[in-house]
Amino acid sequence: MKTKLFFDTEFTGLHKNTTLISIGIVSECRKVFYAEFTDYDKSQIDDWLQKNVIDKLILGYLAKLSPFGDRPAVLARDLTKENEIKILGDSENIKNELINWLEQFEEVEFWSDCLSYDWVLFCDIFGHAFSIPKNVYYIPFDICTLFKDRGIDPDISREFFGYGGEMSEQKNKHNALHDAKTIMQCYYVMCED
C-alpha cells in the first residue's frame, strides 16, 4: 500500500519560465517536509507574489535574523518535532534533502490541488519526470477531480471546506506547508466515509 503525500508548491508565476519559491509536503502519517528555495528568479516577483507568497515565507525571514545570512544550507530541523524537516537552500541542496526524506517511505503517491504546475515543478527538482525517486508513483492525484467526483463545486474555498467553515485558516493561504495541510484536510473530509 502506498503512503499518501499531500503537497503544494509556490512559484513565481503561471507561465512556462516559472521557478520554485517553496514546497510543502505532509504525509498521511504526519511527517513534514518544507523547503524554501534561495535561487528562485527574483525578477519575476510582482506585488501580488510579494504580498501573498514571499511575505508568508517562514525560513527566509529567519535567515535575515541569522548571523549566517541567506546562504544555501540546511537552516532548521525542528528537533521538538522529530517528524518535521524545514530547510532553506538552493535547488541542489533541497533536491538532496528531499531524496533523503522520501527514502523513509516504501512507496508513495502524491496528492495536490490544481496540480498542473505543482507536479511539473516537483519533477523538475530531480531534472525531469524520469528522474523522480523510484518509490514515487509516477501518476499524481488531484483533489479538484475528487471534489467534482463527489458532487462538490471544485471552486469551493479549501479552508472553508476542510476546516468546517473556519475562515481564520485563510490568513496562511499561499504558504506551501499550510496549503499542503489544507489539501490533506480536504481529502480526509471527503474520504472519511
pLDDT tens profile 3-38: 999 999 999 999 999 999 999 999 999 999 999 999
Per-residue confidence (pLDDT) for residue 67, from 0 to 100: 47
The pTM (predicted TM-score) of the whole model is 0.89
Check: CB of residue 154 under 8 Å from CB of residue 144. yes
Per-residue confidence (pLDDT) for residue 61, from 0 to 100: 58
Domain boundaries defined on the chain? 3-191
From CA 148, how far away is CA 176, in angstroms rounded?
Answer: 23
- Cα 70 from chain centre: 21
Check: CB of residue 12 under 8 Å from CB of residue 44. yes
**Residue 143 above 80 pLDDT?**
yes
What is the radius of gyration, based on Cα positions, of the chain? 16
pLDDT tens profile 66-90: 444 544 444 545 444 678 889 998 9
Residue 175 DSSP class: -
Query: Does 3.40.30.10 match the CATH number of domain 3-191?
Result: no
C-alpha distances in Å from residue 107, one per residue of 23, 131, 133, 135: 20, 16, 10, 5
**Strand 108-112 to 3-11 pairing:** parallel
